[in-house]
């Protein structure tokens, strides 16, 4: 039996403005403000009630108007109405060309490849869904996924692996939002509904502290480092003086250095903040770098393999060989921060920017665009002098 004719025409479907336009018999064309067009059908399922005891009336997506014609939408709407009259919920009983969650997720991943911070970040995005969502909901039609299915993915790891679960929730939401924009879903995003309802327990995030050396012990430690020829010692000296992260230092290339301006610009791709970071170079830092030019390597701190950087573990293993226990390389950032506060009395924003931390709210950063380079240069000179015994009290 063919679907009945309605109020809409092919021309109207192509030209109607934003809003919900009825064709009759529960079929609607929804035109978003951005111009996207999709079909939905509203049916009342026989014998089923909502929470208030009224007949269960539900909207179902039939697909985007760019891929589902008016005639096809009418046919599908008729199929849904027939099932509803029989007491069957179309969400679980309709025979439709609705993609699975995994199919939509893989397409989202492909579409967003140009926007990833780097290839590793893009792979992590899809891997999270592959590991925690696809085994449970990957083969489900994307329009049949609701709060119970989302909880099935999140609940097992919500407390044990909360950061992973938080990222998983964000990615689930993105996939379902995209599915809705393409006309494959309707209604509220279940991830948002779960968050708003407070269904999952509140998890108090515990700050991760890296064991740090006392700032008072740095001069003697640095003197020990200074007497060692290993490349790991050079890298660790530079890391201590700059307060930089391990990956920032070990990935440093010569073209990032400006010896005339006495400046190192670490590119955004290696920065946790995603922004370029300028590091003022003190005399002591330059003294570490200058002799390494003769190696003619792509990387400043070259490892055992030619034109490859030192291993991420090289500096930590050096600490262990020196008998320095209970201290991490990352902890020297905390050491510098304590010294900057307790000895140098540095303004908070200067000390925080020296560590490449974001300071203030998004609005504050929008107006305060200076990276305080000159003030940071003075602070880093004082820190270098203190660490290398050039000054006994931390004063330049």
Give the span between the Cα atoms of 74 and 81, in whole angstroms. 10
Q: Does any domain span residue 5? A: no
Question: Which of the listed residues 93, 119, 136 is the one where a domain comes to its end?
Answer: 93
What count of other Cβ atoms lies within 10 Å of the Cβ of residue 274? 11
% of the chain beyond a pLDDT of 90:
46
Whichever domain contains 305, its CATH number is 1.10.443.10
Confidence (pLDDT) at 392: 40
Q: Is the pLDDT of residue 80 over 50?
A: yes
Give the span between the Cα atoms of 125 and 132, in whole angstroms. 12
Confidence (pLDDT) at 94: 57
Whichever domain contains 85, its CATH number is 3.30.160.390
Instruction: Give the SS3 label for residue 381.
Output: helix
Q: What is the mean pLDDT of residues 269-289?
A: 91
Among 58-62, 153-157, 390-394, name the one with the lowest average pLDDT: 390-394
Domain identity same for 150 and 244: no
Structural domain harbouring 72: 10-93
Q: What would the pLDDT profile of 176-193 be if each residue is shown by its tens digit?
A: 999 998 888 888 999 999
Q: What would the pLDDT profile of 116-142 be if each residue is shown by its tens digit?
A: 766 777 788 988 999 999 999 988 888
pTM comes to: 0.52
Question: Which of the listed residues 51, 75, 93 is the one where a domain comes to its end?
Answer: 93
Q: Does any domain span residue 209? A: no
Domain identity same for 115 and 54: no
Report DSSP state, residue 141.
Answer: B
Among 27-36, 155-164, 191-200, 367-376, name the one with the lowest average pLDDT: 367-376
Give the span between the Cα atoms of 309 and 297, in whole angstroms. 9
Confidence (pLDDT) at 35: 77
Whichever domain contains 127, its CATH number is 1.10.150.130
Which residue has better confidence, 83 or 145?
145
Q: Does any domain span residue 206? A: no
Give the span between the Cα atoms of 104 and 123, in whole angstroms. 16
Q: Does any domain span residue 264? A: yes
Q: What is the mean pLDDT of residues 191-200?
A: 88
Tokens of 204: 């108090």
Sorted by sequence, the CB contacts under 8 Å of residue 329 that are 6+ apart come out as 236, 239, 246, 315, 316, 319
Domain identity same for 163 and 236: no
Which residue has better confidence, 197 or 113?
197
Beta strands in the chain (DSSP E): 19-24, 27-31, 37-49, 55-64, 257-258, 263-266, 277-280
Report whether 180 contacts 188 (CB < 8 A).
no
Number of structural domains in the chain: 3
Domain identity same for 295 and 324: yes
Confidence (pLDDT) at 394: 41
Which residue has better confidence, 157 or 306?
157
Give the span between the Cα atoms of 272 and 280, in whole angstroms. 19
Question: Which of the listed residues 65, 93, 121 is the one where a domain comes to its end?
Answer: 93
Q: How many CA atoms lie within 13 A of 155 on its CB side?
A: 10
Q: Does any domain span residue 1? A: no
Domain identity same for 232 and 121: no
Q: What would the pLDDT profile of 19-63 be if each residue is shown by its tens digit?
A: 899 999 889 998 877 777 888 888 888 877 767 777 777 787 777
Domain identity same for 88 and 66: yes
Q: Does any domain span residue 138? A: yes
Q: What is the mean pLDDT of residues 148-164?
A: 91
Q: Is the pLDDT of residue 76 over 70?
A: yes
Confidence (pLDDT) at 365: 53
Give the span between the Cα atoms of 73 and 92, in whole angstroms. 18
Domain identity same for 254 and 325: yes
Instruction: Give the SS3 label for residue 333.
Output: helix
Q: Does any domain span residue 396? A: no
**Nearest in space to 309 (alpha carbons), one of 387, 381, 256:** 256
What would the 3-class secondary structure string for 274-305 be?
CCCEEEECCHHHHHHHHHHHHHCCCECCECCC
Q: What is the mean pLDDT of residues 184-208?
A: 82
Q: What would the pLDDT profile of 89-109 be if each residue is shown by its tens digit?
A: 776 665 556 788 988 888 888
Give the span between the Cα atoms of 105 and 123, in whole angstroms. 12
Domain identity same for 187 and 225: no
Domain identity same for 261 and 356: yes
Domain identity same for 240 and 382: yes
What count of other Cβ atoms lies within 10 Å of the Cβ of residue 378? 14
Domain identity same for 259 and 358: yes
Q: Does any domain span residue 165? A: yes
Domain identity same for 86 and 109: no
């Amino acid at each position: 039996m063919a679907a009945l004719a309605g109020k809409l025409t092919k021309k109207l479907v192509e030209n109607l403005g934003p809003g919900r336009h009825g064709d009759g018999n529960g079929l609607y064309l929804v035109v978003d403000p951005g111009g996207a067009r999709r079909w939905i059908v509203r049916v009342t399922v026989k014998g089923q009630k909502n929470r208030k005891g009224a007949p269960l009336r539900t909207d179902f997506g039939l697909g985007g108007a760019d891929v589902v014609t008016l005639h096809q939408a009418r046919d599908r709407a008729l199929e849904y109405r027939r099932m509803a009259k029989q007491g069957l919920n179309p969400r679980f009983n309709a025979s439709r060309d609705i993609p699975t969650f995994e199919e939509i997720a893989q397409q989202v991943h492909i579409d967003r490849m140009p926007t990833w911070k780097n290839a590793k970040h893009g792979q992590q995005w899809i891997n999270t869904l592959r590991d925690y969502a696809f085994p449970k909901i990957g083969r489900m039609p994307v329009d049949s996924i609701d709060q119970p299915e989302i909880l099935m993915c999140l609940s097992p790891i919500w407390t044990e692996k909360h950061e992973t679960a938080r990222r998983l929730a964000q990615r689930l939401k993105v996939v379902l939002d995209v599915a809705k924009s393409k006309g494959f879903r309707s209604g509220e995003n279940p991830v948002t509904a779960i968050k708003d309802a407070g269904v999952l327990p509140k998890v108090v995030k515990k700050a991760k502290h890296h064991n740090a050396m006392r700032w008072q012990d740095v001069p003697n430690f640095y003197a020990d480092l200074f007497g060692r020829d290993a490349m790991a010692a050079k890298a660790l000296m530079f890391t201590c003086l700059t307060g930089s992260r391990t990956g920032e230092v070990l990935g440093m290339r010569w073209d990032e250095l400006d010896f005339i301006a006495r400046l190192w610009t670490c590119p955004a791709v290696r920065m946790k903040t995603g922004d370029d970071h300028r590091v003022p170079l003190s005399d002591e830092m330059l003294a570490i770098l200058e002799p390494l030019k003769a190696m003619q390597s792509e990387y400043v701190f070259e490892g055992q393999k030619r034109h490859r950087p030192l291993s991420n573990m090289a500096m930590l293993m050096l600490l262990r060989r020196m008998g320095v226990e209970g201290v991490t390389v990352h902890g020297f950032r905390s050491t510098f921060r304590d010294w900057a506060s307790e000895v140098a009395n540095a303004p908070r924003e200067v000390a925080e920017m020296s560590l490449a931390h974001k300071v203030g709210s998004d609005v504050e950063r929008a107006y305060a665009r200076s990276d305080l380079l000159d003030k940071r240069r003075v602070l880093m000179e004082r820190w270098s002098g203190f660490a290398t015994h050039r000054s006994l009290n931390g004063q330049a």
